[in-house]
Structure 1
């Protein structure tokens, strides 16, 4: 009797695992939804879309980094930010774009991070310090990257200020390993006292539990850099509205009530993005 029961149970289990040949393959939308929803995301991130308007990198630094021994601070030029991103992503350090109007905000973020070493790239008006916080200025060039990190960098030439969108895609595509210098035709400004000194490397922070992060060519370089420095992948979309682009839809499918970070005001508010995802999936 029990043998028959066991046989019936085994047959039922086998039938439940069988694929229905009439069902056909999953649609691209279903596959994208399943892929996005299967990610294991850290509980530190909200379980709904979050839109971050962050031209300076301070907001994404707060989002991704609870603390950091090192920080990269650049001026607002594309060439300085690409150089800074090359170091920050390799060192897993947050990057902030400096301007005189944000001086106090930048100082406060460095203090919040409890940083010990700050590397400036370009014209950054932070005063050299002594004591626990070391401020060092990037002298530029390939050899300085080796001296600062003890790593050999590949070189990738990027258009620079002539094509900011290409710069965003270049940062999103930084591999981290091997280290890559995103070199531009115009070099960043070099401040007096610049010299290559060791810049400590840190481990990636995401532990393979980062949320989906999306950007467009209009996203800020600092925000994309911070996501990559954290360890998250960043998908650069051709269009921020998932109702107007299959690529955007597949990147965000199933995440109307899931962890999703959208970099830039072009995505609308969090409520608008949530609604757009739901409408696109209908």
Structure 2
């Protein structure tokens, strides 16, 4: 494997760095994995989902991730190619198995267990790849383990110094971070003035207590972020631009909830897709909510549905 990833992508590229893994999702809705019996394999990983959604929405995006040299790795690369993504930056390593996550299908927050191997071994990202991108995105999941953490933070620091946008889905889970509360990495990311997406569930896990929306807003108020989106599931989203007020947008009506897994990735893909086009923050949020609704109404990945015109 090369020591660094080298690239020559177009200037408006959204560079997504993080986990590509296999989701083993229960066939039926369950409250806990203790009740699961049958699982279906799906391509998973928040960054991979986001990148596929961005591509589906007509954006130029590249995914940097790491899988093992095994059958699951072959399956995931094939899935990404079916989504229209190039496998150019999907690294293969022979000594680590492709990571998997067991997921309990649910209409609420799903129960999950992660078995991590290859996903945390992302190599250093080459300066040319960073320079040729307009925006870099990652997740708390990707930042929880070395060596991926150091390489992603290094890439974000370079991007920020070069005037690039950076984006973070702070999908924090103590089951992933173990004894690390994530605060040091979170503060470091916030130093790059990110576009921050965080859910109410993420907030409660991150701060380790039950919270009201107002308590979450109070905790987020002092952050040095360009935009903050606090997603609240069926209750919509609270958002603010830097130095602006908090604004609430209700979730769009969904006649039939099919599957909420991946709705957050769909929301953020909708947001970033409009943000990179320099649309207003309100229009970015409206687009995000419409794409989230589309995902909730869909049984599988968005790229496996019909293509939609960009709003």
TM-score, normalization by structure 1: 0.30
TM-score, normalization by structure 2: 0.28
**Between structures 1 and 2, the one with greater strand share:** 2
